[in-house]
Structure 1
Amino acid sequence: MTTHHFTMLATAVGMALAANFSYAQDNQATKNIEQISVLGSRVANRTVTESSSPIDLIDTDDLNKGGFTELGQSLQATAPSFNFSRTQVSDGSDLFRPATLRGLQPDQTLVLINGKRRHNQSIFGLNGTVGAGAAGTDMNAIPLSALRGVEVLRDGAAAQYGSDAIAGVINLSLNDSTGVTTGYVQMGSTGEGDGDTVAVGLNRGFDLGTAGGFINFSAEYRDAKGTNRAERDIGGSADVPPGTLSEQVRWRQGNADSEFTSLFYNMVLPVGDSELYSFAGYSTRTALGNGFYRNFNEAAKNVVQVYSDGFLPMIDNEAQDSSFAAGWRGDITADWRFDLSAVYGENQYDFTSKNTINASYAAEYVFNNPTASAAEIVANAGPNGGYSGGFRFDQTTFNVDINGIIDIGLSEPVYVSMGSEYRKEHYQIVPGEEASYACGVANHDTSYPAVNDAGVFAECGFQAYNGLRPEASNKQSRDSYAFYLDAETLLTDAWQVSAAVRYEDFSDAGDDLIGKLATRYEFSDDFAVRGALSSGFRAPSLQQSAYTAYTTNLGAGGVLLQSFTATAGADFPAALGVESLELESSENMSVGFVYDVTSELSLTVDFYHIAIKDRITLGSLMSAEEVAFSPAAVAALNATGAEQANYFSNSVDSTTKGVDIIASYRTDLYEGDFSATFAGNLNNTEIDNVNAPAGVPDSIALDDLQRSFLTNGQPSERATLTFDYQRGDYNSMLRFNYFGDTEVKYFGNDHIGLPDELSPTGEFKNTSEVEAALLVDINIGYQLTEAFMVSAGVDNLFDVTPDELGADETLDFITNQAFKYPVRALPYGFDGMTYYTKVSFSF
C-alpha cells in the first residue's frame, strides 16, 4: 500500500469519526440491535453485537439503496470486504463474476442459504482473471426480491461450517413475510445512452395454518442491453488498408446483452412441536458476449470469401441454476433441539458460438479442390456457429444437527451443538458439436494451408470459443463426510468463550481435523474486545481436479495458440512432479473491539491475519521450450496435440493481513431520521513460498502472471461512506465508494513477448493498471401513496472510468487501438455513469 493511499483512507476514517458516523450492519443501531445472527454462533439468541467474530448484518433496505439489480453489485457497494471484480473477453465472464472476501479466492468463501450450504458454479475464470481456476458461488443467480437480509461473517469458520470457509461465510436469508405483496419496476441506462435495462421483481407470502406457518414466493426478471466502449480500429478491411481508421466501431468492449429470470420460494409448516421447512429456487440467464475481432487478413482464422472485412465472433452464454432444500426440526426435550435436512443444488453453463467460422473446413475443401470458386468456398466453409460445449455440477448435502444446553454452574449454561454432514458431488464436461473443434470436415489430425495464405495453417475449431473436444469430456464424482462439535458459554457475566472442532474426510483429497477458539470480553456496557484463533482447510473442488479442456489463448507475439489444460495426475503435470491435488490448509487470527461511543455512535475495528498453505492455483500456459528441462514433460505436451498446456497444483503459501474499520451514527435531524455510515477495509496478500517440486523452477509452479493476480488483482483499500436521510414521505441516499488500484501482468505484460520496436513509444508497458477511484451514487425517493413509492438516482455520478490505454500498452496494440480501457482486474468496471428510475409497491 502506498503512503498516499493509506493517507487517503486514514483521512476518511478520521472524518467519519469526527462526524460521528454510523454503520447499520455491525452496530447497535436501533434497527439492527435485536436482530439475531445465524452466523458466528450456534446460540439461538445471540445478537450480532454479542458475537466474538465480526458480522455484517445487511437487510433488504440496504441492498436496494442505489440502482443495482444484481446481488453481487449490491453487496460490493455495501460491504467493503466483499469484492466483485469485472472481467471482459474471458470465457463465461459475461455471465458470472468472482465474488470474494478479504482479497482471497472465490472458492475460499462459503455461501449459505437459510444457514444451509449453497452449491458452487460449474465453471471458473481462466488465466489472467481475478479468481482464476476457482469455482465460487454464482451470487447473481439469486434474486434480490427473494431475500430478507444477508449476513457476512468476516472470519475463518471452517471448523464451524466446513470446507471453503477460509475467508469467511455469507448467509443469505430468504424472505419470510406474509400477507403483503411487494415488488418493483426499474428502468435505467448509461450516460453513453446504451445498456438500457428493465428489471421487475415480485414477492408475496401466505400464511399456512394458524401456528405460524408460511410460504413465500418471489419472481424476478431482468433484461439488459449491451454496452460498448470500443473505438474505431486500424485493422483494415477489403476496402480500407491496415493503418487507417475503420468507418465503424467493429470491436466490442462492454457488457453483453443479457436476460435473467428466476423463481424462489421459502416455506415453514408447523407439525405439532416440530416444523417442516423447505426452500428452493430456479434461475436462468443468457448473455451474448464476444471475443476479439478477427481481422480480414488473419488467414489462419478467417476466410475472406466468407467474411471479406473480418468478423467479430460471438459467444451465447446460458446458465441454469436450480436448488431444493427440505428439512425437519423440533424439540427433543425442553433444552435440546434437532434439525434434519437435505439440500440439492445444480449449476449448468452452456456455450454456443455465433458469427464465427472453423477456418479448417474451407481450407480442407480448397486443398482437395484447388480451382474452387469463391461461391464454392463459401458453400463449403462449414457452419457459422453451433454448440461449443458446457459444464455441469451438482451437489447433495445431508445434515443432522443437534443443539442444546448443559448447566455446569457458570454464569450461563454451556450451549452445545453437534452434528454430521454427508455430501455427494458430480461434475461433467459436455463436448461441443464436431464443427466447434474439428480439424477439417474429416476431423483428422491434419493441418491444411489457409485458404488465403498457403504460408500459414488454418486454425481448427470455432473462433473465440473453441469447442470442447470429446477427448476432454469428463465425468467425475466424489463424496465426503464430516462431524463437528461446537460449545459456547459465559465464564463470567463479562467473558464469553467458544470452541469448535470438526473432522472432515473427502474421498479424493484426504481428511483433516481442525478447530477454532473465540472469545469476547466486555469491559463495560459500551466497550468489548473480541478475538479468535482457528485452523481451517479447503478441499480441491471437482471443477479443479477433473477439469480438462482445449482452448485458444494468446501466446508470444500476440497470436492465438491451441492450448490444453491437463487433469490433476495426468501425464503432463505428473512429469513436472504434480501427481494430485491436496487440501489447502489455513491458520486464522483476528482481534478487535466494539465501542459504543455514545448511544448514537458506535465503532468496530477488527485486525486479521490469514496464513494459507498449499493454495491451489491454475498455472500459466507453458510451451515445450519452457519445459525443455524435462524431456518427459515435452513428450507429454506433444502427445496432447496442443502448443502449450497448464494444470492445477498446490503451488503457493501466502499470508493475507488486514483490518476492517466500521463507524456508525444515527440521530434525529430536522424532524427526520439521519444516519451516516463509514466502512473501510485494508488488506495485503504476500507470497511466502512457492511449492515447486524438486527440479522444477519456481517460475513454472508460479509465474509473474499468477503472482500479480494473487497479490495485486484486487484493491488493497476499499471504503464506503453512506449518508441516509428520511423525513416524512421523502428519503435520500448519498454514497461515496472508494476502490484502491490494481496492477497485473496481462494484456500489457512481458509474457506476450511483443518486440518493443512495434511500440509507438519504443517500449511496451509490462503491466496493466486500473487506477484508484472514488465513485459517487445518489438516490432520492418519494412515497406517493401508502402503496407506491417512486425513486430515481445516478450511480457513478461523475462518470469515473479507468485511465484510457496508452500507445505503450500491449492491449492497445493487439486490438488495433480498438479497446479504450483495460479488461482485467476491474473492480468498478468501465461503463461510467448509469441512471435509473424505480417504482416500488407494497400492499
Structure 2
Amino acid sequence: MRLNKYFRLHTLAIAISTSIPCVSTFAATAEVVDENIESIAILGSRVSSRTATESSSPIDIISSESLTKGGFSELGQSLQAMAPSFNFSRTQVSDGSDLFRPATLRGLQPDQTLVLVNGKRRHNQAIFGLNGTVGAGAAGTDMNSIPMSALKNVQILRDGAAAQYGSDAIAGVINLELKDTTNVTSGFIQTGATGEGDGDVLAAGLNTGFDLGNDGGFINLTAEYRDYDGTNRAQRDTGGGSNTAPGTLSENVRWGQGNAESTFKSFFYNAMIPLDGMELYAFGGYSNRTALGNGFYRSFNEAEKNVPQVYPDGFLPQIDNEAQDISTAVGLRGEINNDWSYDVSATYGENEYDFYSQNTINASYAAEYLSNNPSASEQDIASNSGPIAGYSGGFRYDQLTFNADISGSIDIDHGENLFVSFGAEYRKENYEIVAGEEASYACGASNSPTSFPSVIDSDVFAGCGFQAYPGLRPNAANDADRNSYALYLDLEKQITEQWNLGAALRFEDFSDAGSKLIGKLSSRYELTDSLAIRGALSTGFRAPSLQQSAYTAYTTNLGEGGVLLSSFTATAGSAFPAALGVQGLNLETSKNISLGLVYDVNSALSVSLDAYRVKIDDRITLGSLQNADDVSFNPEAVAALNATGAVQGNYFSNAVNSTTQGLDVVITYQTELLAGNLDVTLAGNLNETEIDSVNSPDGIPESVALDDLQRSFLTDGQPKQRATLTFDYTREAWSGVVRANYYGETDIIYFGNDHIGLPGFLSPTGSFKPTSVLESAVLIDVNLAYQLSDNLQLSAGINNLFDKTPDELGEDEALDFITNGAFKYPVRALPYGFDGMTYYARINFSF
C-alpha cells in the first residue's frame, strides 16, 4: 500500500475513532462516488479500507463542484442549500451577527457542532450573538471565514461524536477537506445582485498547486475575494423630524433592514513533503472580513439618545464589524511497520473581532457641556458633543492543540483484524475582551459616575456611551485562559461478513470545568446485499467555552414599550449570578441514540433513513435580561445589579435539560434522459426540541433561570422541517440544476408583543400579535452552465426564482409599531432572509 494513499485516508489524527462512519451522499455523479470511496475514512472511520456505503452513521459528502453550483459566494449559504440538517439563520440589528451567522446541525446550538479542517480541530470565533438571536450565547465556528475555492469537499457527520472527537461534537462534525491538486490552476469570477437592484456582489477566487519533488509532495494555494454592497428592505417611516410632525411619512428611507455591506479577503494553503518514509504536512490560512451593520434609527426627539444640534432629524447608528482569522497546522505522519502508523501534529488558530461605531453619538457629552454651560449656543453644544465615530472594543480568542495518534490492526484468531486507534490531545485556549475608547462608554467628557440631563428634556438623563453599540468598558475587559487534555481509544471489528461493530472511549479533563469519561458503540448489519441497518449509542459532553465563562459586557437592548435600555452580562460566578445561586458553569452532558437503514433498491435508486434522539442535560444558555423588579425577591441580587450601573442584567448558566429528536432522509436516483444524465436527490430533516426541565436554584423562579423568550429560540427559532429536492442534469457541454428548498415555520417571541409588551389601545386593531412568525416557504433555485472549452465554463442562475419573502408586517405587529412602519419584515430567526430573488453570472476557468 502506498504511504501517500494510506495516510490521506488517515488525515484525521485527533479523531481516533472508527465507530461512526456512515454515509448518505448527495452528489451522485461517478466522479463524486469515487471521491467518497477515497475520502470517507477522513471523517468517522480509522479503517483505511472502509468506504461510504459501509459506514454505521450518516455522513453527507458534498464536492467542491456541487458547493459552487448554487451560485452562493458564502460557504454557510451553500451548505444550507444542500444539507437540510444544516441551518444558517439570518438576523439583523444584532451587533456582530451582521458579519457572522449561527451555523447549526439538527436544531442544536452552533457550539454543539465541531468543525475540522483536514481532520484537525478548527478554532471557534471570539464572539457570539447576544441580542435575541438563534444560537445566542454560543460561540461556534465561523463558517464564512473559509473560502470555498480552497475546498476539495465538505463532510458532514450527522451523529453524536464527542467520544471520538471531543468536546463540541454533540450534534455532529463538519470536516472541511482542502484541495491537494497540482499542475492545475483554476478559478472563477462572479457577479450578481438582487431583483430589487441592490446587493451587488463581486467575487473572485484562484487556486493553483505545484509538485514538491518527485515523490508525491505538493503545495496547493488559494486566494479569494468578495465585495458585497448590502441590501435594504426598510420603508419610509412616520417618526417625524425637525420640520416634520410625527405621524407624517418621511421623504426618504431612514432605517436599515437588510444584509450588511461587507468585504472578504482570504489566503489558504495545503502542503505535504515526503521525508524518508514519512510525510511532513502543513496547512492553514488567513481571512479578513468587514461588515457595516445598522442599529435602530434614533428619532429626532428621543431625549436620552439624540443631540438635535448634531442630528436635527435623528440618525441611523452603524456598527462597522471587522473579523480576522489566522490558522496554521503542521504535522508528521508515517508507518511504524506494515500494520501500524502514527500521526503527530500541532494546530494553532486565532480569531479577532472588533467593533467600530459610525454615525453615532454619546449624548451625555453634550448634556454635560450644557449642564456646565447653561447659556451655551446651539453651535457651542454641537461643537462640544464629542465624536460621532470611534472604536467600541473587541474580542480575541486563540487555541493551540497538540495531537498524537497511533492506529493499526491486530490479527485475532486468523479472522478479521481488530482495528485499533489510540492517542492523546492537549489544548491551550486564551480569551480576551478589549475595552473601547473612552468616548464609546463614558458618561460625559469627564467620565462621570452618573449622567446629565438631556439637551432635549431636562427631566430625562442622557444616555452614556455610543448609540447602537456602547463601548466595552475597562471594568469589563478580561483576559482568561485554560488548558485541557484527552486520552482516547477506538476499536472496530468486522464480526462476520455482514456485521461490523465499533467502540470508542474518551477521557477529557478541563482545568476550569472538570473531567468526563464518555463512550460510543456503533454497528452496521447487512440484512441482504442491498439492505443494511445501522445505529449508534453514545454519551457525550461539551465544556463551557471561555467565551461563555469569561464574558462580560454592557450592551443596549430593547425593553418593554420599545425603550432601549443599558444592559449588563455578568461573568460566570460573579456577584449577580452568584446571588441567584449560580456559582459557575459546569459541563453539558448528552446521550445520543440513532437508528437507520440504507437500501439500495437497484443500481439507480438508493434510500437512507436515520432517526435520532439527543438528550442534553445542564445545557448552557444565556439567560434573559432581568431588571430590579424581576429579582426583587432577592435583595442581594438587586444590590449586585445596581452596583453594575445597568438597568438590567443577565448571565450564563446550566439552565436547561432538553431532548431533540428527528428523522433524516436521503433518496438518490440516477438515470439517462434525452441522451444526458439526470441525478435526482431528495433530502429532508424533521426535527423537534423540547425542554424537559429547568435547573433553577432553590428559591429562584424558573422564569428567571429560563424565560419564555429564551425558551422560544431553543424550541421554535429554527425550522422543524427542512427539505431539498434537486434535479442535476448534464448533456454534453450543457448542465443545469433546479433545486427546491423547503423551510418550515419559525415562531419566536422576540419582537412580538409577548416580548415588547405594548398596550392594545396603541394598535389600530385593538391588540398586537403575541409572537413574531416567519411562515413556511419553498424557494426555487435555477442554475445553467455551458462548457465553452476544456478550460472555460460560463454559468448563470437565479436563486429564489419566484421572489419569496416573509409575509409583510401588519399594523397589529409590535415591530411595525416600534419602527414607525419602517421595517417591512420580521428580523429574527430567518432561515432564508428577506432579500427576495437574486441572480448571478459566473466564469469558471481551469488550465
User: Do structure 1's residue 408 and structure 2's residue 415 form an aligned pair?
Assistant: no
**Any conservation in 1 of the 2:431–2:479 contact (CA below 8 Å)?**
yes
Matched, 1:34 2:37: yes
Query: 2:258 aligns to what SS in structure 1?
Result: coil
1:267 maps to a residue whose letter is A
Matched, 1:639 2:605: no
**1:233 alignment partner in structure 2:** 237
Residue 25 of structure 1 and its aligned partner are, at CA, apart by 6.6
In structure 1, the residue matched to 2:306 is 302
- Aligned ranges for residues 430-829 of structure 1 at < 5 Å? 430-829=434-833
Deviates more, 1:122-131 or 1:537-546: 122-131
**Does the CA contact (< 8 Å) of 1:63 and 1:74 recur in 2?**
yes
Letter in 2 for 1:649: S
Aligned partners of 1:22 and 1:313: how far apart in 2? 46
User: What CA deviation, in whole Å up to 9, does each residue of 1:247-283 have, x standing for no partner?
Assistant: 0000010011100000000001111111000001000
* Contact 1:354/1:385 (<8 A) preserved: yes
CA shift, 1:586, in A, is 0.1
The letter for the 1-side match of 2:111 is D
| Matched residue type, 1:231 | Q
Q: Residue type of the partner of 1:731?
A: S
Q: 1:360–1:460: 8 Å Cα contact kept in structure 2? A: yes
Cα distance between partner residues in 1 of 2:342 and 2:753? 56
Say if 2:156 is the partner of 1:152.
Answer: yes
Determine the C-alpha separation between the residues in 2 that align with 1:350 and 1:22. 39
Which residue is 2:52 aligned to?
A: 48
Equivalent residue for 2:834, pick from 830, 833, 841: 830
CA distance in 2, matches of 1:533, 1:134: 26
The residue that corresponds to 1:131 in the other structure is 135
CA contact (8 A) 2:28 2:670 kept: no
Tell me if the contact between 1:739 and 1:772 (Cα under 8 Å) persists in the aligned partners. Answer: yes
Contact 2:25/2:62 (<8 A) preserved: no
Spell out, residue by residue over 1:626-678, the C-alpha distance to the aligned partner (whole angstroms, 9 max, x if none).
00111110111011111100000000000001000000011222221110110
CA–CA separation in structure 2 for the residues paired with 1:718 and 1:334: 46
Q: Is the 8 A contact 2:131 2:557 kept in 1?
A: no
Give the residue type in structure 1 aligned to 2:800: N
| Structure-1 separation of matches of 2:789 and 2:366 | 65
Structure 1: stretches of 5+ with no match in the other structure: 1-20
3-state SS of 2:366 partner: helix
User: Is the CA contact (8 Å cut-off) linking 2:237 and 2:821 kept in structure 1?
Assistant: yes
Query: d(CA) in 2 for partners of 1:499 and 1:371?
Result: 79
Shift of 1:452: 1.2
Assess, with a 3 A threshold, how the Cα gap between structure 1 residues 598 and 65 changes in structure 2: closer, same or farther: same
1:749, CA displacement in angstroms? 3.2
Provide the rounded CA distance (Å) in 2 between the counterparts of 1:441 and 1:232: 35
Structure 2 unaligned runs (5+)? Answer: 1-23
Deviation of the 1:559 alpha carbon: 0.6
Instruction: Please list the CA deviations of residues 409-438 of structure 1 after superposition, one character each: whole Å capped at 9, or x if unmatched.
Output: 264201100000000000000000000000
How far does the alpha carbon of each residue in 1:303-322 deviate from its partner, in whole angstroms, 9 at most, with x for none? 11110000000111000001
Match of 1:220 among 224, 236, 241: 224
The aligned residue for residue 385 of structure 2 is: 381
Look up the match of 2:88.
84
| Preserved contact between residue 281 and residue 331 of structure 2 (Cα < 8 Å) | yes
User: Do 1:25 and 1:57's aligned partners in 2 also have CA atoms closer than 8 Å?
Assistant: no
CA distance in 2, matches of 1:674, 1:754: 55
Residue equivalent to 1:17:
none
- Cα deviations across residues 162-209 of structure 1 (Å, max 9, x unaligned)? 000000000000000111000000000000000000000000010011
Counterpart in 2 of 1:243? 247
Contact 1:320–1:349, Cα closer than 8 Å, also in 2: yes
The superposition leaves residues 568-615 of structure 1 with CA deviations (integer Å, 9 ceiling, x where unpaired) of 000000000000100000000000011000011100000000000000
Matches within 5 A, 1:30-429: 30-32=33-35, 34-37=37-40, 38-409=42-413, 411-429=415-433
Secondary structure at 1:838 match in 2: strand
SS of 2:37's partner is coil
Structure 2 vs 1, CA of residues 352 and 33 (structure 1 numbering), >3 Å: closer, same or farther?
A: closer
Aligned-partner Cα distance in 2 for 1:655–1:22: 27
- Superposed structure 1 runs of 4+ greater than 4 Å apart: 25-33
The partner residue of 1:842 within 837, 841, 846 is: 846
1:126, 1:481 → 2: CA distance?
A: 30
Secondary structure, counterpart of 2:156 in structure 1 = strand
Q: How has the CA–CA distance of structure 1 residues 161 and 30 changed in structure 2, closer, same or farther, with 3 Å as cutoff?
A: closer
Q: How many Å separate the matches in 2 of 1:411 and 1:720?
A: 43
Change (3 A) 1:617 1:506: same
Q: Aligned with 1:544: secondary structure?
A: helix
Shift of the 330–32 alpha-carbon distance from structure 1 to 2, 3 Å rule, reads closer
Q: CA deviation at 1:444?
A: 1.2
Q: Shift of the alpha carbon at 1:34?
A: 2.4
Asked if the contact 1:657–1:683 (Cα under 8 Å) also holds between the matched residues in 2, the reply is yes
Identity of aligned residues (%): 68
- Cα distance, 1:107–1:47 mapped onto 2, change above 3 Å: same
Separation (CA, whole Å) in 1 of partners of 2:179 and 2:37: 18
State the shift of 1:333 in Å. Answer: 1.1
Deviations for 1:668-696, whole angstroms, at most 9, x for unmatched residues? 22221110110000010000010000000
CA distance in 1, matches of 2:456, 2:166: 57
1-structure distance, mates of 2:324, 2:35: 35
- Give the TM-score, by structure 1 length: 0.97
Question: Which amino acid is 2:742 matched to?
Answer: Y
Residue of structure 2 equivalent to 1:13: none
Q: Which amino acid in structure 2 is aligned with residue 35 of structure 1?
A: E
In structure 2, distance between residues paired with 1:27 and 1:231? 50
Q: Which amino acid aligns with 1:575?
A: A
Q: CA deviation at 1:160?
A: 0.3
Q: How many equivalent residue pairs?
A: 823
